[in-house]
């Protein structure tokens, strides 16, 4: 049964999109209470509004630190309409019922991120707002709480459809979102005081239910704001598995400055290439493994032009991510209705990783180490050439983003093949060699990268026999010298980085 809103308290920091809700409330004879800048905003719309100070008979004090913290405000929100004692007390103390609370919070995280002084940061710790949100959410039996500007559009649709009324399910839904907002906010404040740069503070207030998880029998949700990272230009919503592949794409493309295309399938790169043009980079990436590329997710760090779009359109793929698209390229790519096209925005992502495990959660720093030529320690008599060093850097960037155990074979800015997720590194190498041969690659003059050390010289021996001329690995095995000796005997260059890149 719908419950009509008779009165509302509105006090927000961000006012964009608020006007249509205020107009709707006014048109439905809802009494509006407000404070400060929000009150002025409503008055400028020519809509009657009652100052909270007039309700409480108490001024805003301490530079606005105390405005709404008063029994007439919180009593109006928290008294139970079906409790005779509460209703009687409210009447005796002239406490009006408040049925709708629209409140957001001071931008604490944004202030921290801006590099502001500690005094400015402390002033952005909201007290009254967080209390209003929690109070209204607690009394969701009677009150609708709107705790974020991201909710304005949906709330407007609900109120429009129900003549400024709300159902129980509406109020409970927004109470859940409100407690997510308060949880996130308090976690951010705790992280600041604890000196935690990134506390893995998932935005429960921005929960997006997904159709299902990895499999149809698993329910799933995404916690976060995808709109901060991407603008979706076309296609249906992203699934759980899509998001896993998108994350793998983003992590890998961040390794490259030159124009690059990456194709990912089941979280592993099956095609990576760097070239002078978008068209050539894509064709080279596709040729790595055109079979696995079918149904994959593709990302590039360059603009997608018409010529590249024409080639892309020949392949069935799930998602294409780029910083920009030419208009004529979009026209072609949009011909497949379910194909997702995303513009990637420049957004700083978390430096932490979290994984549920057993009865708890594992937390670690992301693997942000990327070794370059200057970090290479040459351990063989043969020193890598400049071209080989460039190829080794390229291979190592891919290697660190593939499931262990893995081996990468590459040449001339192109992934030739990889072996991934094997229990034996020898098996990973054999897998890579077989795939390279399957797709017609000549491994003579190629390089090999391994994310962990070689416990025996068998891998360098196998690689040398197919034409690999340079190897990069972290080193650290008690039998490193055996691999070095084989390379010396066969004119293979080997460098060590001292950095392992396990990925499980």
Catalytic residue chosen out of the listed positions 234, 266, 334, 430 = 266
Catalytic residue chosen out of the listed positions 15, 23, 26, 138 = 138
Bridge partners, 11 (sequence order): 103
Detail the DSSP E strand segments found in 100-248: 100-103, 144-146, 165-166, 207-210, 220-223, 230-234
CA distance 467 to 264: 27
CA distance 236 to 99: 37
Active-site residue 124, yes or no?
Answer: no
> How far, in whole angstroms, is CA 281 from its chain's centroid?
26
DSSP string, 53-80: HHHHT---BTTTTBSS-SHHHHHHHHS-
What are the Cα distances from residue 467, in Å, to 396, 409, 439? Answer: 18, 11, 16
Residue with tokens 């190629």: 446
CA distance 316 to 294: 6
- Which residues are CB-neighbours of 492 under 8 A, at least 6 positions away? 380, 382, 460, 463, 464, 468, 469, 470, 471, 486
Maximum C-alpha span of the chain: 97
Q: Of the candidates 201, 209, 147, which has an alpha carbon nearest to the alpha carbon of residue 178? A: 147
CA distance 455 to 225: 44
What are the Cα distances from residue 454, in Å, to 62, 259, 500? Answer: 66, 32, 11
Residue with tokens 């793998």: 248
Active-site residue 335, yes or no?
Answer: no
CA distance 123 to 134: 20
Q: Annotated catalytic sites, by residue?
A: 138, 266
């Amino acid at each position: 049964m719908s419950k009509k809103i008779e009165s509302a308290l509105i006090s927000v920091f961000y006012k964009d999109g608020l006007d249509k809700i205020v107009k709707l409330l006014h048109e439905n004879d809802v009494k509006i209470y407000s404070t400060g800048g929000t009150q002025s905003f409503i008055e400028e719309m020519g809509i009657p509004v009652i100052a909270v100070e007039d309700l409480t008979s108490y001024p805003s004090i301490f530079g606005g630190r105390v405005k709404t913290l008063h029994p007439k405000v919180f009593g109006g929100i928290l008294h139970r309409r079906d409790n005779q004692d509460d209703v009687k007390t409210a009447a005796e103390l002239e406490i009006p019922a408040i049925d709708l609370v629209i409140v957001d919070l001071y931008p604490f995280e944004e202030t921290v991120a801006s590099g502001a002084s500690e005094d400015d940061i402390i002033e952005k710790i909201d007290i009254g707002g967080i209390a209003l949100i929690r109070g209204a959410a607690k009394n969701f039996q009677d009150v609708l709480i709107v705790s974020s500007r991201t909710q304005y559009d949906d709330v407007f649709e609900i109120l429009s459809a129900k003549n400024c009324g709300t159902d129980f399910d509406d109020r409970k839904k927004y109470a859940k979102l409100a407690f997510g907002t308060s949880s996130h906010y308090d976690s951010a404040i705790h992280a600041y005081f604890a000196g935690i740069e990134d506390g893995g503070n998932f935005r429960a207030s921005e929960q997006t239910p997904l159709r299902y998880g990895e499999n149809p029998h698993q329910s799933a949700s995404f916690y976060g704001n995808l709109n901060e990272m991407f603008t979706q230009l076309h296609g249906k919503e992203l699934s759980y598995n899509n998001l896993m592949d998108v994350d793998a794409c983003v992590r890998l493309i961040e390794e490259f400055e030159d124009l690059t295309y990456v194709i990912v399938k089941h979280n592993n790169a099956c095609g990576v290439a760097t070239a002078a043009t978008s068209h050539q980079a894509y064709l080279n990436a596709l040729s790595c493994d055109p079979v696995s590329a079918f149904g994959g997710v593709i990302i590039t760090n360059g603009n997608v032009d018409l010529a590249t779009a024409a080639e892309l359109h020949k392949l069935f793929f799930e998602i294409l991510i780029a910083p920009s698209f030419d208009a004529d390229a979009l026209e072609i790519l949009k011909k497949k209705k379910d194909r997702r096209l995303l513009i990637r925005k420049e957004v700083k992502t978390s430096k932490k990783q979290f994984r549920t495990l057993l009865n708890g959660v594992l937390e670690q720093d992301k693997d942000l180490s990327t070794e370059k030529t200057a970090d290479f320690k040459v351990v063989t008599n043969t020193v890598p050439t400049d071209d080989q060093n460039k190829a080794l850097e390229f291979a190592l960037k891919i290697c660190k983003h593939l499931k262990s155990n893995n081996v990468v074979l590459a040449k001339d800015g192109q992934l030739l093949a990889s072996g991934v997720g094997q229990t034996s590194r020898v098996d990973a190498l054999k897998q890579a060699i077989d795939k390279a041969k399957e797709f017609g690659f000549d491994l003579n003059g190629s390089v090999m990268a391994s994310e962990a050390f070689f416990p025996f010289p068998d891998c360098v021996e196998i690689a040398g026999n197919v034409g690999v001329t340079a190897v990069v690995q972290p080193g650290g095995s008690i039998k490193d010298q055996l691999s070095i000796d084989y390379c010396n005997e066969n004119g293979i260059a080997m460098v060590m980085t001292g950095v392992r890149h396990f990925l499980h």
